[in-house]
Amino acid sequence: MGMDICGWVEVTWRDANDRDWEWAWSGCIRLDPLLNRQDEVGWALFGFSKVPLEQKHTPIASRRGLPSNPSDEVRRDMERIIVYENQHGPGDFGNYTWIDFDDVEAIDWESMGVDDATQSEWREVFEMIRLLRRADRFKGAAFRIVAWTNW
């Protein structure tokens, strides 16, 4: 049985001082269909791995929990997970966490033990965020990744 990576890339246009507002963030990219395998990047970011990887460093954003103000898209996913867990019991979903994309951009992947981040499926997620950042509509916007696992 595989471990799926679920979650959302979220965006806000709010100033840094106002990003804690309850409805500041909106989901814009769903992670589930884009990430089919665990790799060094998922480990370095969140500690997501079902297979043993050489763990040279502690993951940057492991098990932080959900942000205090998740997007409506994340809230709806959490509602569905609660219904599922009420019917089938807990344990399938976990490792809830998040990271600001500015923090991702600042990572020295080599120092984190990642040989080639460009070979990861996360590369496409990062490129989508960068593409959105370049679009006029998203000038000045902030992005974060909210993720969890499903066994």
| Domain span including residue 108 | 4-150
Phi-psi region of 56 (alpha: psi -120 to 50; beta: other; left: phi over 0): alpha
| Closest C-alpha among 146, 130, 3 to residue 77 | 146
| 62: Cβ contacts below 8 Å, ≥ 6 apart | 46, 47, 95, 97
pLDDT at 52 > cutoff 60? no
- Higher-confidence residue: 69 or 38? 69
| Token duo for residue 72 | 């409506």
Tens digits of per-residue pLDDT, 58-81?
A: 899 999 999 999 999 999 999 999
When divided into structural domains, the chain yields a total of 1
pLDDT for 136: 92
Going by pLDDT thresholds of 50, 70 and 90, the confidence category of residue 139 is confident
How far apart, in whole angstroms, are the C-alpha atoms of residue 41 and residue 37?
Answer: 11
125-141 mean pLDDT: 94
Assessment of whether the complete model's pTM goes beyond 0.85? yes
pLDDT of residue 16: 85
Question: Which pLDDT score is estimated for 40?
Answer: 87
